[in-house]
Amino acid sequence: EAGVAQSPRYKIIEKRQSVAFWCNPISGHATLYWYQQILGQGPKLLIQFQNNGVVDDSQLPKDRFSAERLKGVDSTLKIQPAKLEDSAVYLCASSHGTLASTDTQYFGPGTRLTVL
């Protein structure tokens, strides 16, 4: 079973520029998550999709961050404009989408963003 794919793996931009990250979840997984992992911290949930609908985006800074999952498969996360404090690893995870809290989340390798 192929894992969660993310691209690019690394991105360096200057503040106020825009950037987009792409995620391809495990085939058949209905639920997709985007996390932000700042150096030295645990992952923090940004947004959760169930198929192509948003379940929770309460922690997404909507003035600059946006995410979509148009066909219920791939997803993109965009930051516009970027700030210095957005430097982090952006992790995508997917799960089968069962209603159980034990629905295992599988993580991709992440995209390391550096904002200069």
Q: Is 68 exposed, middle or buried (CB count within 10 Å of its CB: 0-12, 13-18, 19+)?
A: middle
Nearer to other proteins, 45 or 73 (CB): 45
Q: Does 4 bind other proteins (CB under 8 A)?
A: yes
Q: Does 22 bind other proteins (CB under 8 A)?
A: no
Residue 85 has what DSSP assignment? G
Backbone angles phi, psi at 52, to 5 degrees: -105, 15
| Burial class, 115, CB count within 10 angstroms (exposed 0-12 / middle 13-18 / buried 19+) | buried
Q: How far is the CB of 2 from other proteins (least distance, A)?
A: 14
Tokens 């931009």 — which residue? 13
Q: Does 45 bind other proteins (CB under 8 A)?
A: yes
**In the bound complex, what is the minimum distance in angstroms from residue 35's beta carbon to other proteins?**
8
Interface stretch with other proteins, choices 12-20, 62-70, 75-83, 98-106 (CB under 8 A): 98-106
Give the up-direction half-sphere exposure of residue 70: CA atoms within 13 A in the CB hemisphere: 3
Place of tokens 């629905």: 103
36 binds other proteins (CB under 8 A): no
Count of residues of this chain found to bind other proteins when the rule CB under 8 A is applied: 28
> Which residues of this protein are in contact with other proteins, per CB under 8 A?
4, 31, 33, 40-45, 48, 55-56, 59, 91, 93, 95, 99-110
